[in-house]
């Protein structure tokens, strides 16, 4: 039996033991709660990390989907452009084929035009004949010039034709040599008549196209030529002149 005087000490020790036990239990619970909180925090961080990755994947997926749609529209646009380009190429090839065929057909035409022009000059009134034949010869050289396009060749031929056409509307007088020893005054009325008058006004002549030579005129016709030259040399505007009829 415990003596009475020791009972308070025992009670104190028991209380101290209970307090220690209670503190130990509380500390254990705190540690356990702390561990639970730390575990929950780790899990939360892991969940947040997974959520971040999920959001990132969704963003990547949206970007890829947008890029795919853009690429699809771009491919469709390229396809339409390609089809249009193929159509243009087909048209160009057709035009080039037509141009090549035109060039094939154009050269004989140009050649014929130059030949026709040369024949005209040779059979026409013999005014400025050397100059006109030289122009035709240059056209023949142009036809054989590979550095000139058919368009340029055609342009020069048309200019030559235009020049010959203008001769048909001109009325001109000038001094020149009928022969190496005889100087005369010429008069040309378009392509209707070509005449000369000697400087002493005693003789005159008219170009005979059928015979391709000069024919002498009588006194009356010579007087007509002289009067026509006087009228034209006076500088009258559109004078009325009378000339022998060309044959």
Residue 184: strand pairing partners: 176, 198
Nearest to 247 by CA among 202, 203, 201, 216: 216
CA geometry: angle 194, 126, 142, nearest 5 deg: 140
Angle between helices 129-143 and 150-167 (to 10 degrees): 170
Other C-beta atoms lying within 10 Å of the C-beta of residue 171: 15
Report the distance separating Cα 135 and Cα 161, nearest Å. 11
Q: Mean pLDDT throughout 165-171?
A: 91
Other C-beta atoms lying within 10 Å of the C-beta of residue 227: 13
Report the distance separating Cα 185 and Cα 207, nearest Å. 14
Which tokens sit at 69?
Answer: 């749609």
Least confident among 100-114, 124-138, 168-182, 183-197? 100-114
* Mean pLDDT score of the chain: 80
What DSSP character marks residue 192? Answer: T
* Domain residue limits, the chain: 171-247
pLDDT tens-place string over residues 9-48: 555 455 555 545 555 666 666 666 666 666 666 767 766 7
pLDDT tens-place string over residues 72-110: 776 777 677 667 766 766 675 666 566 666 667 788 999
Question: Per-residue confidence at 125, pLDDT binned at 50, 70, 90?
Answer: very high
pLDDT tens-place string over residues 203-241: 999 999 888 899 999 999 999 999 999 988 887 655 677
- Taking every pair of C-alpha atoms in the chain, what is the biggest distance, in angstroms? 196
Q: Mean pLDDT throughout 121-126?
A: 92
């Amino acid at each position: 039996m415990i003596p009475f005087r020791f009972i308070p000490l025992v009670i104190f020790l028991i209380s101290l033991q209970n307090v220690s036990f209670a503190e130990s239990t509380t500390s254990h619970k705190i540690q356990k709660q702390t561990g639970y909180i730390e575990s929950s925090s780790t899990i939360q961080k892991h969940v947040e990390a997974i959520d971040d990755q999920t959001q990132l994947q969704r963003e990547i997926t949206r970007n890829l989907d947008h890029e795919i749609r853009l690429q699809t529209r771009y491919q469709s646009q390229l396809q339409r452009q390609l089809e249009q380009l193929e159509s243009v190429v087909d048209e160009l090839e057709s035009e080039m084929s037509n141009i090549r065929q035109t060039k094939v057909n154009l050269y004989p035409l140009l050649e014929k035009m130059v030949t026709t022009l040369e024949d005209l000059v040779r059979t026409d009134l013999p005014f400025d004949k050397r100059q006109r034949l030289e122009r035709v010869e240059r056209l023949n050289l142009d036809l054989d010039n590979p550095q000139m396009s058919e368009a340029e060749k055609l342009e020069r031929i048309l200019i030559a034709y235009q020049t010959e056409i203008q001769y048909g509307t001109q009325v001109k007088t000038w001094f020149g040599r009928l022969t190496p020893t005889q100087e005369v005054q010429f008069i040309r009325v378009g392509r209707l008549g070509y005449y000369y008058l000697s400087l002493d006004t005693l003789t005159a002549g008219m170009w005979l196209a059928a015979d391709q030579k000069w024919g002498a005129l009588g006194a009356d016709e010579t007087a007509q030529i002289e009067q026509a030259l006087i009228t034209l040399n006076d500088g009258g505007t559109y004078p009325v002149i009378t000339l022998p009829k060309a044959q």
